[in-house]
Amino acid sequence: MHVAFVHTPIPLREVKNRGDYWHSFDTRYIAAHPHVRPMRKILWELPHWVPWLAGVLAEAGFDSLEALDFYGDCAVVDGIDEAKITERLRSHPADVYLFSPMTVNLPQALRMAEIVKELHPRAVTVFGGVVATPLYEEVARNRSVDYVVRDRGEYALPELLLALRDRTDLSGIRNLVFERPGGELAVGRLNPYMPVEKIPFPKVDIFPEDTGLDLRYIRQNYALGCPFTCDFCTIQTIGRKPEYFTPDRVMAEVAAYRARFGEHHHVYFGDETFTANTQRTLDICSALEKAGNITYDCQTRLNCLRDARLPAALYDSGCRWLEIGLESSNPDTQHEFKQHTKLDPLEETLARLRDAGLPTCSYLIVGLPNEKPDDMKRTVDWAASLIDRGLLHASYLSLFVPYPGTPMFSHPERYGMKLLHRRFDLYNEELAPVVDTRYARSDEVYDIFVDGVGVLAEAMSRTPSLTFDRAERVSPHRAYGEFWRTG
């Protein structure tokens, strides 16, 4: 049985002010990462689910596996290159095609599954992941989808493939959803998660070595799970106590990825809250510092940076970019959607991180349902002021999207919102919001976002006021913001 993992493209979108923004952002980002190289094509990062589940299947005895990357070179403005996709799928026949799209490229993944069925009628298509899980009923009823694996797939996927190979009964497979011949939907009960100590080592060589030329960094996980429950977050492990891989396992994975794709690559830890557990953070920092040859980025929350030992530990272990989910300057938003986070210690915390040599970057969201237009504008101006004062190094700006899988999508009326449509390829954090709230229309919020992108671009374009040794160097990199280009 030959199994192909499909990495689905996301349509490119034109966004006013984004070119200037990404140029300014990249100037600061690359200065803090002097070994970053221009990407040959814009894959950005390996789709983590592919080597992860390929490792699971290899452990189960499947030895004919390949990864098909359409993400890096098959996106066009407002669509995908169907001619190129069709030709590539024609030349890569498989018995099973696996898809794990996000919300924004679910329509494209379904179209690609349709192309698979046209080219290879006997092939099986399986969907899973962050959007197929909450929308499992409608995805499973799509005529081009044979099976949906909802939630985590470490148990269900190899069981499904073994049952297909051996032509045995599927009805007892947990997490599995499929439409029976009569139209009834078979929905398996959910399995407990596979403990992290039992998850097989990822199959790093599922991608060819030269894929390293398409990467900005190596994505890695230290923990699975996030103890917080933000209503706008669609990560399926939110509200769940994190389970941690051992530092030795993490270091072995990092070494394997860098050996294959390039030792120059830094690491991006994809944990939603890297510093949620102080002792666990200190443990991995100790292992990284001992290795002495790895720099990395990570993300966390303001209230997970209280311990005075963290700034030095992060810096000494190679952290060179710390992303903090601030979302909003509005205290009511922090109380309602961020588990009562207090912004009072923000400036003191940012100053400690800066003084330890750590560039910080905030995540901001405009359009949250409790905020008025003036609240949104204040958040943007607040972040620009923090950049000007040398407390922040950079900031992302996104539009609020009520993704499937969140209570905001399931029950928008509870938040005073009206869902405008279900065109999922427009559920994009850079496009006009898909909701009207009680305080702002979609078009009003979008205008604030576009203006805010310009405000942050200007703030980041001004002479850096931070004094990091690495951040002040002139990088030889000249492709600032190039990944943003759509043509």
Q: What is the pLDDT of residues 204-254, one digit of tens each?
A: 999 999 999 999 999 999 999 887 777 777 765 555 788 999 999 999 999
Q: Provide mean pLDDT across the span 11-36.
A: 90
**Mean pLDDT confidence for 55-82:** 96
SS3 165: helix
Non-local CB neighbours of 168 within 8 Å, separated by 6+ positions: 162
pLDDT per residue over 298-339, tens digit each? 999 999 999 999 999 999 999 999 999 999 999 989 888 877
Q: Give the per-residue pLDDT at 477.
A: 53
Give the pLDDT score at 238: 55
**24, 485 contact by CB (below 8 A):** no
Residue 341: which pLDDT band, with cuts at 50, 70 and 90?
Answer: confident
E-strand stretches of 229-292? 243-244, 267-269
Q: Rounded to the nearest 5°, which phi and psi values hold at 394?
A: -165, 175
pLDDT 10s digits, 378-408: 999 999 999 999 999 999 999 999 999 999 9
C-alpha pair distances (Å), 222 with each of 228, 276, 292? 17, 11, 18
Domains of the chain, earliest start first: 3-12+47-187 (3.40.50.2300), 197-484 (3.20.20.70)
Percent of the chain with pLDDT over 70: 93
Looking at the chain, the whole-number percentage of residues with pLDDT higher than 90 is 83
The dihedral formed by the CA atoms of 70, 75, 81 and 82, expressed in degrees to the nearest 10: 60
pLDDT per position as a tens digit, 350-359: 999 999 999 9
pLDDT tier, 487 (very low <50, low <70, confident <90, very high otherwise):
very low
Between 287 and 341, residue with greater pLDDT:
287
pTM, full prediction: 0.94
- pLDDT score at 478: 52
Tokens of 377: 């504008």
Average pLDDT over all residues of the chain = 92
Q: Which residues have CB under 8 Å from 406's CB, separation 6+?
A: 231, 232, 233, 234
Q: Which pLDDT does position 486 carry in this prediction?
A: 47
What is the pLDDT at residue 356? 96
Neighbours of 467 (CB within 10 A): 11
Confidence band, pLDDT 50/70/90 cuts, at residue 14:
confident
pLDDT value, residue 471: 41
Confirm if 145 and 127 have CB atoms less than 8 A apart: yes
